[in-house]
Chain A
């Protein structure tokens, strides 16, 4: 098997389809900005934040593997690395939304109906500081994430152990920086859409959703690359099993945090806190609120409970797609309600940006995937990852085959 090869170009038809979708989505966004700004901007905030989170989840996944000294995931590392490389573009798009539409945030425009903030919030939430913070968060994430990716790719040419050691340090720094900055970033960008409301668990809640959907994206891309050819013969049931277990665990973690936020607010029953759920639990919003829990936890939990479904690429990919739709809905329920009335808005202004984001995200991912060998060819832990042997089924094994089986792994 020739692992040195990079990804072959995508089939002409797929590229044309993705470009067409991106163009249509772009036109819808343009039309929305001109004709339906109050619908398109929350929608744009949603998709750009979604993309930033997906990219961050890729960087966080890579960093986690380095810090833990994990071997199993090395062969698949190019997928989360590629996601991390989306960070500059996604971050720029998010900054653009924050710059272009101050009125997304009630604290940034002072109309007569607005009750001014008091104390710390009044100091914290002002335009220049808000934008400066966003720039600092993104600059820190981009700097560290790209440094990790660059070091990993430098190892492709010389295979020196120093690159791994350097990335272990960078990853430890990234994780600490990320933990300290993602929390206030979620407060700034999402929670301050309703500035009078606050929930201290909101950062963890966003982290849980971010990593859950990041894992789902990694699963979808990995299985797709296996189907397409480049990871064929590399990805095996044990890799899938590990990815499936992570998806299962983080789905439950998300549900735990989702419920914790709800329960504490329900229990304390303070009007300034319950207003968040009152808006989301009544009328036509209620089914969406429950659907969110269904897509992000009920579906993954009960399907992935079985060992066989974690080891099946098709099942795992379907569950991952459910989770990604669930993540969109989760963000929709965080972002859109304060900008909408009794009826959840859904139509071309919500679908257009999502389609554009998916199409552009995939085109960019393929662009970046082709810049380096599809697996980290000279990583010292690669052999361990490839040797994640398929457990032989007794019926398939005949006498003498165990030797081949032992050697096949480290080919």
Chain B
């Protein structure tokens, strides 16, 4: 795919309410490739820009199951197959004794999958992001709220989208170079 010279359009808002309203407006207007940038978390914003489900919970479940099986085998293999020792007359496969390690390995694998899966799926760390080409964007970590409509959006049209964002009561609309 040919790279679009523009990353998209970014609109600046003064309050979380205005941003949330604009995000709903953009969704209702048919735009799908949206992103929002705010200085603090805003309830309902993620859903408003079309963020629904991730596959992270599934990855965590699979990670947990692998940790569970792996943790058990890590004890089962040496105690039963590789180097069986008679300890206190207990059976080689003393599974109750294996439970704590199995449990901890389940938690460890699930937690590591959560952290690294999250990083992999949201694309962090991102050393370069086009939105920083707009000098005003640094206000996103202070007191301004930004809504971005990306050029990849099938409905994107520079002039029409710019007007659309202005109609959503944006304080200012900037073009973002990619």
Contact = CB atoms under 8 A, between A and B. Distances in A.
Interface string B73-94: 0000000000000001000000
A406 interface: yes
Closest 7 CB pairs of A and B: A399-B25, A399-B28, A402-B20, A402-B21, A263-B96, A397-B24, A402-B24
B52 A402 contact: no
Interface in B41-68: 43-44, 47-48, 50, 52, 57, 61
Interface string B14-49: 000100110011011100000000000001100110
B57 A307 contact: yes
A267 B97 contact: yes
16 contacts: A259-B96, A259-B99, A262-B96, A307-B57, A391-B43, A391-B47, A392-B47, A394-B50, A397-B28, A397-B48, A399-B21, A399-B24, A399-B29, A400-B25, A402-B21, A406-B17
A393 interface: yes
B44 A402 contact: yes
Given A263-B96, A394-B47, A394-B52, A402 B17 contact: yes
A269 B21 contact: no
Nearest to A401: B24
Contacts of A394: 27, 47-48, 50, 52
A112 interface: no
B65 to A, nearest CB: 12
A389 B24 CA distance: 16
A393 B99 CA distance: 41
A157 interface: no
Contacts of B88: 269
A266 interface: yes
B24 A398 contact: yes
Contact of A263 (B20, B25, B44, B97): B97
A110 interface: no
Contact of B21 (A266, A391, A400): A400
Nearest to A388: B43
A399 B25 CA distance: 4
A405 interface: yes
Contacts of B48: 392, 394, 397, 402
Contacts of A259: 96, 99
A397 B28 CA distance: 8
Contact of B27 (A269, A389, A397): A397
A82 to B, nearest CB: 31
Contacts of B29: 399
A269 B88 CA distance: 9
Contacts of B27: 394, 397
A393 B103 CA distance: 36
A266 B24 CA distance: 60
A40 to B, nearest CB: 36
A401 B24 CA distance: 8
A403 B169 CA distance: 14
A267 B44 contact: no
Contacts of A269: 88
Interface string A370-405: 000000000000000000010111100111111101
